Every structure is written in C-alpha cells, then in structure tokens.
C-alpha cells in the first residue's frame, strides 16, 4: 500500500478551486422576511445537533478506489475540538503506515514506510488561501457540521446562507465567497448534514462531495458511521470511504506527533503533489 494514496483526501479539496465555473442564480422565492425566518429556523435546528463531546476516538477503515485500482487499510480517527484531527492508517492491523495530522497551525502527512513527511501551513497552499479553507473547515467536515469558508469554530449564522428546496423535496443551504461555493444537503428528518458539496462560486456543478450516512449515538448527538468523499482529479473519478466504528469520548491520547528528524526526511509540498498526480495517470 502506498501511503501517498491518503494525500488525495486533502488534495481533492485543494484542487477544487481550479475547476471551471458557470454562473447560476439560486432562487428561494417567496417573501424576503419569511425566507429569512425559514433560513434561521433551519440553521438553528442543524446547529443544535453539533456534537458537544470535546474529544473522541474511533476505529476506522479507509477504502480508496479509482478506475484503475483500489486500496483498503484500517486505522483510527481521533479528534479534539479546536485542537487536532489525527487519522492513523494501519496495515494488517499491526503496523502504522501513515498518519495525517491537522491542527489550527499546520497540516502534516507522515509516510512511515518510506520515512518521509510533509508539514506546512494552510496558507502555503494557494487554493486553501484563496478559498478560505483552514483547519476549521476540515474540523466541521469530520464532525458533520455547517460551516462557512474562512470561518472558525463558532456555529455559523443564518445570514451566511441561502436556502433552496428542489422538486424532489431535498433542502439545501448554500454559502460562498468569490472563489468557492459550499452547499449543504440536509437530512430533514434528522436535521443533519447529509452531504457537503464544493464547487466553483456561482456554479451548481459539484467538484467534491462529502457524504454522510449510518449515524450512531455519541452522547445526546449523532455521529456519522460512514463518510464518503467523491471527487475528480485529472479526469479521474476517485472515491474515498471512511467507515467509522466504536466512537467514544476519549482524551487519553497524544495530540501531537513527534517526528524523529534523524530518521525522517521532510518532503516539499510540491514533491508530494507530484506524487499524488502521478497516481491519477
């Protein structure tokens, strides 16, 4: 298993800002005051479902597939709100082969097999900087929450969104900046985000889809047991599926990964991305 496969999880979002755009208009219809009240009610209901546990750990399996190959690996997901997200990949249930660590200050990817790592600030990635993608974006994605680009951990307000109901009864909230749009498709029964879609600003064509299913109870709230990422890289359809189990409150783990620089070589972001793109060829 090549640990560079899991770089695609981040690279997919990095590349979303490079897609083409087509201007469209989101129309919700009706009286403006009633519309704003409706949006406020929807946002308030979804925000009320935010998980309150500050620290969790869970077992995880990751299946990554393209049109050419498929890779499956086990591991764990650990998160501490406003501090860190750690994804550990384990081969054969015995040996950690890779780790992804996201904090408010940096993102780091560690290749245990080849003794290499990448560590950088979010602003070092042009698309992250232009789109307003930061640690809190990923935090909300993994916690299954509403968010706004270039935001923080505060629950977003209703004036950040437009509301759309389609002919099939699906309800979605949309937010955007000048470069990127994010749409949240809602499970209206559970009042949870069922799918988060990234696109170019003013476009309805999703480039990245982050889907949620199989929610389980975590305290009084719900946590998704399945997260599926669908995206295109160089005309390649790529799907990454996280299956998460045994989710529990847990703070008994190290929140920072120490790198032995005598054994590990730091690789540049450009070098890592070239390796990512070579996988899609």
| pLDDT tens by residue, 167-218 | 667 899 999 888 889 999 999 899 999 999 988 887 778 888 999 999 999 9
Q: Is 124 helix (H, G, I), strand (E, B) or coil?
A: helix
CA atoms within 13 A on the CB side of 186: 24
Report how far residue 146's alpha carbon sits from residue 14's, in angstroms, rounded to the nearest whole number: 19
Tokens standing for 102?
């996201």
Q: CB pairs under 8 A, 24+ apart, for 267-273?
A: 267/116, 267/117, 267/118, 268/118, 269/118, 269/120, 269/124, 269/125, 272/4, 272/7, 272/109, 272/118, 273/7, 273/11, 273/14
Q: In terms of Cα–Cα distance, which of 132, 144, 150, 226 is closest to 186?
A: 144
Taking CA atoms, 199 is separated from 25, 169, 190, 204, in Å, by 14, 22, 25, 7
Taking CA atoms, 250 is separated from 1, 53, 96, 101, in Å, by 29, 9, 20, 17
Q: Is 138 helix (H, G, I), strand (E, B) or coil?
A: helix
Taking CA atoms, 212 is separated from 21, 227, 251, in Å, by 26, 5, 25
Tokens standing for 165?
């109901």
Q: Is 242 helix (H, G, I), strand (E, B) or coil?
A: strand
pLDDT value at residue 128: 82
pLDDT value at residue 167: 66
Range list of H helices, the chain: 8-15, 32-47, 126-131, 135-143, 269-279
Helix axes 269-279, 8-15, angle to 10 degrees: 100
Region 3-274: CATH code? 2.50.20.10
pLDDT value at residue 135: 95
pLDDT value at residue 268: 83
Report how far residue 188's alpha carbon sits from residue 197's, in angstroms, rounded to the nearest whole number: 17
pLDDT value at residue 75: 93
Is 0.75 surpassed by the pTM of this model? yes
Taking CA atoms, 248 is separated from 16, 44, 55, 217, in Å, by 33, 26, 8, 10
Report how far residue 137's alpha carbon sits from residue 150's, in angstroms, rounded to the nearest whole number: 8
Tokens standing for 108?
């780091």
Ranges of each domain in the chain: 3-274
pLDDT value at residue 237: 74
pLDDT value at residue 129: 84
* Low-confidence stretches of the chain (pLDDT beneath 50): 1-30, 279-281
């Amino acid at each position: 298993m090549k640990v560079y496969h899991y770089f695609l999880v981040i690279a997919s979002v990095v590349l979303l800002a490079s897609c083409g755009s087509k201007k469209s208009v989101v129309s919700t219809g009706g009286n403006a005051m009633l519309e704003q009240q409706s949006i406020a009610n929807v946002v308030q209901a979804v925000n009320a479902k935010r998980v309150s546990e500050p620290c969790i750990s869970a077992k995880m399996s990751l299946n990554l597939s393209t049109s050419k190959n498929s890779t499956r690996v086990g591991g764990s997901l650990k998160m501490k709100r406003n501090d860190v997200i750690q994804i550990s990949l384990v081969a054969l249930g015995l040996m950690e082969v890779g780790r992804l660590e996201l904090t408010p200050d940096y993102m780091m990817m560690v290749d245990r097999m080849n003794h290499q790592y990448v560590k950088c600030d979010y602003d070092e990635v042009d698309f992250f900087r232009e789109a307003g993608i930061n640690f809190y974006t990923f935090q909300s994605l993994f916690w299954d929450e509403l968010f706004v680009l270039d935001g923080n951990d505060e629950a977003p307000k209703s004036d950040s969104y437009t509301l759309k109901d389609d002919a099939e009864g699906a309800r979605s909230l949309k937010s955007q900046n000048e470069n990127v749009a994010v749409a949240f498709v809602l499970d209206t029964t559970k009042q949870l985000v069922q799918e988060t879609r990234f696109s170019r600003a003013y476009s309805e064509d999703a480039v990245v889809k982050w889907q949620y299913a199989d929610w389980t109870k975590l305290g009084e709230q719900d946590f998704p047991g399945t997260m599926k990422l669908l995206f295109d890289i160089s005309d390649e359809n790529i799907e990454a599926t996280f299956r998460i189990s045994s989710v529990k409150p847990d703070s008994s783990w190290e929140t920072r990964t120490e790198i032995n620089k005598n054994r590990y070589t730091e690789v540049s972001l450009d070098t890592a991305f070239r390796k990512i793109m070579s996988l899609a060829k």
